[in-house]
Structure 1
C-alpha cells in the first residue's frame, strides 16, 4: 500500500475524519468527467520521453528505447511501456461552470490519508512517438469500509482514466483505487510498530546483484502459445533496494503524477493555488505532504517506519515482468493488482509470475498470477494478468477490441475539441 497524504484545515494534519456528507458527495460524482488541473508531463509522446519512462522503471528493453530495433518487430517502431499513459493524455474536459457542480467536487475527505490500494490496467493498442493521446478521468466506484490499517472508517474510491487516440479509439483504461483513511487511527492500530528499515550485508547484496544478472528477456524470440503450460513459472525480475535515486528517476519519466507541484517559482504558484498541500517542516520551510516518498522522518511521525515508493512504480515493475516473458510479439490484455503493504526505502521486491489458466485456442488469453515480494517475504503486490501470445499454427496476436460503451465514451472524449458535435455535447452536459 502506498499513500499520498492530504492535509486538512488543522496544521497538525492528523485529525481528519470521514463524514457522511463527503461519502454521499463522492457517490454523486460517479460517471462525471472532471477536468484535470495540470497539463500532462508529456503533451505528445516522443521517442525520448518513452525511453525516459522506461529508464525510470529500470526497464532496458530495446523495444521501448530504440526506434531502429522497433522497426524490426511487428510494431514497426519503438512503442511505449504498458504504463506510459500515466505521463500523457490531453484532457479536453471543460471546467465546471455552475456553482452546484463546483460545490459537489470541492474538498472531499480533508485531513485524511489517501492510500493507493490497487490498479487495473486494460490495453487495446500501442502508443507510438508523435501520436497524441487524449484522456478523461471520472469516478467509477465508491465503497465504504472499516480500515484495518488505521482503525477508523475508510472509503475506497476507484477512478477511471480513459486514454484514446485522435480518432477516439480507446488505447487503454486505468482503474485506480485509493483508500481514504482516518489518519488519527494509524498509530493506535500499531500494525507497523515492529517493522524496521532493512540493513544490508555485502553477502546479501551479492544475491541481489545475482538476481539482476539472471533476468531473462524473450525479446525477438517468439514465446509461442503452443509451448506454454499451466504451472509454468515466469523468469523473475528484481527491483531494489529502493532508494531516493529510484524515486527521482521515476519522476523523470512520469512527472509529478498530476499533483501540480514543481520547483522554485512553480512551487510558489502551487502554494498559492493549494496551500493545504504544503506544511512547514521542523525548520519552518513549506514542504509538500507528498514528501512521504522521500522523507523518512515525516513518515515516522505518522507511524510509518520509512519513506516508500509509489503504487504506480510497482505496477510498472510487474508489467516489466510480463513484457519480458511475452516477448516482442505478445500483448498484455489486462493487469489487475492489489497493493497490500508498503515498499520502504531499503526494500527489494522480486516480481514473479505463474501461469494458472490457458484457454482452448490461442485467441483466448493466458492468465498469470503475479506478485512482487519483499526481502521480508511479504507479497506487497498481488494480482493477475491476462496476455496473448503468437501461435505457430494460426499466426500473430490480434489486439483486443473495446466494447461499444467504451468506444462511445472515447468518441465523446475527442468530440469535446469543438465543432457542432462538441457544442451539442456541452449543451447536454456530456462535455
Structure 2
C-alpha cells in the first residue's frame, strides 16, 4: 500500500506529479464499469446529428448526410461515419453507492497533463438515425513508463468504450489510450521548443487547395475484393491548415466529449464539482484545462509552440480516408492508430494509406497501413486498418460477429433498465 501523506499529495497536485497512490488506484479500476454522469451530446442519433458530426470532421460523404442517398445503398438509409459513437451513447451503469468504491474512483493524476496517444476501434454494425445506442466504459489497462515528452514518469491508461444496440448486440468498441505526463517535466524537457508555427505563402496554399479538389470518393461504384492488390495506394485526403474554426466545428458535431464542459452557469456547476479542471488564465479568469486546444498562451505555458488538435479529429480523418476508398458497399471493421506527435494550429496533414495484406478469400479482411504526415514531414499518426470488400463471386460483405464474451457483456449492458431509452424515443417522436 502507498504511504503517501496528504501534504505530499497536495504538493504533487500543484507540481503536476504522478503519485504511487494514483497508480495503485488506476490499476484497481480495471474492468469495473463506471457510470458517466455527463449526458451524451446526442441522446438518440438523428439524421441531423449524424450529419453534423461528419460535417465537423470535414467529411462530405453523402452516405453520412443524405437519407435519400442512403436509401439506395445496401444500408437502406443514411448511416453514421465510423467514429460517430463518441457523440452518443446512453449510459445505464448504476452509480457507486458504497464509500470505498466512491473513494477508489475519485479523481486521478490531478494537475498532470493528459494526452491522447492512440485508439483501436472495432466496428460490428452501423449506427442509424432513430436507433438508440447504449454505452459502457471501463479501464482496460494501466502501464507505467518514463515519458519522452515530459522528461519524467508517465502513466498510459487505456479505456474501453463498448457501444451496443438496445438488444445488447455490440455496435463497436473503442479502446482509447491516454498518457498522463508530469507537467513540471514537460517545461524542463523543452522537446518542442524549436518548433515554430507554420507560415504559408499563397503558392503553398494553392497546392493544398488542389489536393482538396483532387479528393476521390468511391461512392456507389463497388470496390471489388478481386480488384485489390498488395501495394495499392489509397487516394490522399488532406486536412488543414488547422484553425480554431476547425476545433469549434469538431465540438459542434461531437459535443464536449464527456467532460461536462459548458457555458456560464454550466461552467459554474462544473467548477463546483471539478475545481481542478479549471486553471486561471493570465487575467485571473478560471478556464478549463482543455483550452490548450485553442489558447496560445496556455499552450506556451506548457512548453508547446501553439495549440493543437484532438486525437479524436485525426482518428475521424483516417476513417474519412478509408471510407472514401472502400465505397458504399465496403465495411471498415478495425482501425488501430497511434498519435506520435502534435498537430498544431497552422499545420496541414496529408492522410495516406497502402494495402499491405490481403486474405485468401473475400471473407478475410484487407489490411491497410495508414498515416497522417504534416508539412514538416513528421508522421504524427500511424497505424493499420482492416476492411471488408464485396466480391464478384460471393457477393455482399458479411459483417463481423463479436466474440461470445463481448456479446455477453453487451447483453448485461442492455439488461440495465432505467427507462432512459423509452423516454428518449418518446421525446424524439413526440409520443
- Secondary structure (helix, strand or coil) at the match of 2:30 reads coil
Q: Is the 8 A contact 1:9 1:110 kept in 2?
A: no
Q: Equivalent residue for 1:18?
A: 18
Residues 314 and 381 of structure 2 are in contact (CA less than 8 Å); yes or no, is this contact kept in structure 1?
A: yes
Question: For the residues of structure 1 that align with 2:10 and 2:155, how far apart are their CA atoms?
Answer: 21
Please state how far the C-alpha of 1:89 moved relative to its aligned partner: 0.2
Residue of structure 2 in register with 1:378 after alignment: 378
Shift of 1:12: 11
Work out the CA distance in 1 between the residues paired with 2:237 and 2:279: 38
Greater shift in the superposed pair: 199-208 or 265-274: 265-274
Task: Show CA shifts across 1:164-208 (max 9, x none).
Answer: 000000000000000111111112212101101000000000010
Q: Per-residue deviation at 1:268?
A: 1.5
Alignment of 1:89-168 (within 5 A): 89-168=89-168
Listed as ranges, the matches of 1:149-228 within 5 Å are 149-228=149-228
Q: Deviation at 1:384?
A: 0.1
Distance 1:11 1:38, change over 3 A: farther
Cα distance in structure 1, aligned partners of 2:166 and 2:245: 35
Corresponding residue for residue 50 of structure 1: 50
Distance between the aligned counterparts of 1:272 and 1:108, measured in 2?
A: 17
Distance in 2 separating the partners of 1:264 and 1:179: 30
Q: Per-residue deviation at 1:37?
A: 1.8
Provide the aligned length of Structure 1 versus Structure 2.
412
Rounded to whole Å, the distance in 1 between the matches of 2:81 and 2:392 is 26
Change in 2 beyond 3 A, CA 1:299/1:12: farther
Q: CA deviation at 1:9?
A: 8.4
Looking at structure 1, the residues matched to 272 and 92 of structure 2 have their Cα atoms a distance apart, in angstroms, of 24
Give the alignment's TM-score, normalised by structure 2: 0.94
- Give 1:254-273 correspondences, 5 Å limit: 254-273=254-273
Structure 1: runs of 5+ lacking an equivalent = 1-7, 420-431
Moved over 2 A (4+): 8-14
* Partner in structure 1 of residue 427 of structure 2: none
Partner of 1:84: 84
Q: Which residue of 2 aligns with 1:278?
A: 278
In structure 2, distance between residues paired with 1:348 and 1:221:
30
1:425 maps to: none
Q: Post-superposition shift, 1:254?
A: 0.2
Q: 2-side partners of 1:204 and 1:315: how far apart?
A: 26
Check conservation: 2:13, 2:110, Cα contact below 8 A: no
Question: What's the Cα RMSD here?
Answer: 1.5
Displacement after TM superposition at 1:95 (Å) = 0.8
For structure 2, list consecutive stretches of 5 or more residues without a partner in the other structure.
Answer: 1-7, 420-431
- The answer to whether the Cα contact below 8 Å between 1:135 and 1:162 also exists between their aligned partners in 2 is yes
TM-score by length of 1: 0.94
Tell me what 2:65 maps to. 65
Q: CA deviation at 1:377?
A: 0.5
Per the TM alignment, residue 267 of structure 1 is displaced from its structure 2 partner at its CA by 1.3
